[in-house]
Amino acid sequence: MRMKALQQAIYARINTPSVTSLLSAEYSPSIFTTVPQQIDSGADKYFPFVSFGQDTLGPYDTKSVDGGDVIVQLDVWARKRSMLDLKEICDAIDTRLRHQPLSITGTTHIDTDLESVTIIDDPDGKTTHAVMLFRVLYLG
């Protein structure tokens, strides 16, 4: 299992100007594993941002090498009137991850593919939320 190394590799791929230039400048970068408490204050200046969600790990083994088949969730949060801004961030993340090499320490990365994107309005009436699910395959 290489869950920490996988998250670090994904973070390294999306922590680039093509993604971070679209996010809030209040934190640099606005990509979180644990969202800071200030963001829960409701202040719009902290949006948009990206957070790591839940992962699901299954085996992707050969006869001689253990591997992982992981569904990685990335959450994109925004507070603009148009969902186009949120979709632009999703597109930038997808471009950085889908079928791109990941340097996962101790593994051979096989592929990363987009499984789905679900965009929803949050009940607060101000926040839009995209749930992005990526499938990552690796051996080692």
Nearest to 72 by CA among 27, 109, 47: 109
- Calculate mean pLDDT across residues 43-58: 93
Among the four given CATH numbers 3.30.70.260, 3.30.2000.30, 1.10.460.10, 1.10.287.110, the one describing domain 3-139: 3.30.2000.30
Q: What's the predicted TM-score (pTM) here?
A: 0.94
pLDDT digits (tens, 9 = 90+) for 18-48: 999 999 988 778 999 988 877 767 788 889 9
pLDDT digits (tens, 9 = 90+) for 69-101: 999 999 999 997 788 999 999 999 999 999 999
